[in-house]
A = this chain, B = another copy of it.
Amino acid sequence: MTAYALLVEYDGAGLVGWQRQSNGLSVQEAIETAATSLNGGATPLATAAGRTDAGVHAEGQVVHLDLAADLPPARLRAALDFHLRPQRIAIRAACLAPEGWSPRFSAARRHYRFRILNRPAKPALEEGRVWHVPLPLDAAAMHDAAQALLGKHDFSAFRAASCQAEHAIRTLDRLDVTRVGEEVVIHASARSFLHHQIRNLAGTLHMVGLGRRPVSWPRELLEGRDRRRAGQTAPPEGLVFLGVDYDPPLPWVTSDRA
């Protein structure tokens, strides 16, 4: 057996998320199916750094795959990328997995971006990639509110009811809100996140951006630890899993060109 790491991009639309489900195609099933012919006909197991929900996109999901074959990483990348051709799933890079490495437990930091299209007109080019908020948002107020959430806290107020984590204590390293033309973009980084944490933070910050809640509100919610008081869960299509930091970094290979 050879253990590989894969760097994976996907469009979450039309997929049921990372994890295998009976109700539709998941990224996990697509990759495992594409790898079957490289694994002597047996379906291998793929595990990921983050179990993205249905509709959530990825630019830099990281996947662990054990194969019976011993292929150079560049050839594995090209073969999987080709076999995944009908899907909007791309294998950007591959490498041999370091001894004892886990995409999930070895992660030092995860990075996400959430995009809000903040203009009266509906999305056309970015439909399915943004949350459309037609009324004007004050991105500076959202950013100020977000800074009060940084650090190590019990994030129960921003946790999905379905969250399976043992506890809700997380350390939020970055939660930046910036306006970029017609968009308000949220960047979030932490070693790990709770289920729906970023989408719940986005829905809560958007209430501050609209001026319906004060800048102090998200911090008060955090301290109250009561999910029922926070803002709505923002829709999945605005969220992109940007990537994962490992220490040391993985030795990614994209092609076998010299």
* A contact residues vs B (CB 8 Å cutoff): 9-11, 57, 59, 77-78, 81, 85, 87-93, 119-125, 127, 129, 136, 240, 254-255, 257
Contact = CB atoms under 8 A, between A and B. Distances in A.
Contacts of A89: 124
Given A92-B119, A119-B92, A119-B254, A125 B57 contact: yes
A124 B88 contact: yes
B81 A121 contact: yes
A81 B78 CA distance: 42
A127 B11 contact: yes
18 contacts: A9-B121, A10-B125, A11-B124, A11-B125, A57-B125, A59-B125, A77-B121, A81-B120, A88-B127, A90-B121, A90-B123, A90-B124, A91-B121, A92-B121, A93-B121, A119-B254, A120-B255, A121-B254
A222 to B, nearest CB: 32
Contacts of A125: 9-11, 57, 59, 88, 129, 240
Nearest to A256: B120
Number of copies: 2
A197 to B, nearest CB: 22
A82 to B, nearest CB: 8
Nearest to A129: B125
